[in-house]
């Protein structure tokens, strides 16, 4: 049973393959090309609400590029110099949270990337024109491809969960799916990890997958986020 706790607490690492594209198919294709060295794009900016998957995509594309032998670097809120002279893929997440010094550092990094052979992918919670950042940095972030990351709505999430359940060999009822969406973390990796754990819990306890079984799992292991 301890393994169930671990699996629920630690959903699969973010990859481009386990990202559910929904309305983001064009974006995912562009990121595959970037990670595989098949793209001429040097600058990409992603924006979307919390939970839309933009951070998932940034981590996924950096990991894929690294596995393909490309140099990668993460920019964070602590101003630091990143060597962007070589063919390095730089990533900057949550740029809307950057303070004054970090904004200057990201502006300078953008200029170094532009003068070299690398690429920069960044993300924030709004389109560049709506970011409350210094004007010269906003201009830089708006200079490349810009994609809005559209989060899945509840109907799309329910459809993904039902397909995943079918692949595991059981039927996910509407009641169980609705309860899961209301009472657990709402990002897809966590939802899918919880659904996998529920399937194993059902097999181990030899009980059908019902709302009471799901409630028992959530209560026993404290995986609920308090929604509902």
Both 184 and 103 in one domain: the answer is no
Q: Are residues 36 and 136 in the same domain?
A: yes
Chain segment 135-157, per-residue pLDDT in tens: 999 999 999 999 999 999 999 99
State whether 178 and 207 are in the same domain: yes
Q: Select from 10, 19, 53 the least CA-distant residue to 160.
A: 19
Domain extent at residue 130: 25-148
- The predicted model gives 88-113 an average pLDDT of 93
What pLDDT does 222 receive?
A: 61
pLDDT tens figures, 164-195: 999 999 999 999 999 999 998 888 888 888 99
Residue 173 lies in a domain: yes
For 121, phi and psi rounded to 5 degrees?
Answer: -120, 130
Residue 52 sits in a domain of what CATH number?
A: 3.40.50.300
Q: For strand 43-47 and strand 145-148, is the pairing parallel, antiparallel, or unpaired?
A: parallel
The whole-number pLDDT of residue 79 equals 55
Both ends of the chain: CA-CA distance in Å?
Answer: 26
Whether residues 141 and 176 share a domain: the answer is no
Number of independent structural domains in the chain: 2
Residue that finishes a domain, picked among 96, 122, 148:
148
């Amino acid at each position: 049973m301890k393994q169930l706790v671990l699996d629920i607490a630690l959903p699969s690492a973010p990859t481009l393959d386990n990202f559910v594209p929904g309305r983001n198919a064009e974006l995912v294709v562009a990121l595959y090309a970037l990670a595989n060295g098949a793209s001429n794009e040097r600058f990409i900016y992603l924006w979307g609400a919390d939970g839309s998957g933009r951070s998932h995509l940034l981590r996924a594309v950096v990991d894929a590029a690294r596995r393909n032998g490309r140099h990668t670097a993460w920019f964070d809120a602590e101003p630091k110099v990143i060597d962007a002279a070589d063919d390095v893929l730089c990533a900057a997440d949550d740029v809307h949270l950057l303070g004054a010094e970090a904004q200057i550092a990201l502006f300078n990094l953008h200029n170094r990337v532009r003068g070299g052979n690398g690429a920069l992918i960044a993300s924030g919670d709004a389109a560049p024109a709506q970011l409350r950042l210094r004007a010269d940095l906003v201009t830089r972030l708006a200079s490349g491809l810009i994609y809005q990351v559209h989060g899945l709505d509840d109907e799309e999430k329910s459809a993904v969960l039902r397909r995943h359940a079918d692949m595991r060999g059981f039927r996910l009822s509407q009641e169980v799916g609705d309860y899961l969406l209301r009472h657990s973390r709402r990002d897809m990796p966590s939802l899918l990890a919880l659904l996998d754990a529920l399937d194993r819990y059902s097999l181990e306890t030899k009980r059908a997958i019902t709302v009471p079984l799901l409630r028992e799992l959530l209560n026993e292991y404290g995986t609920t986020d308090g929604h509902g």
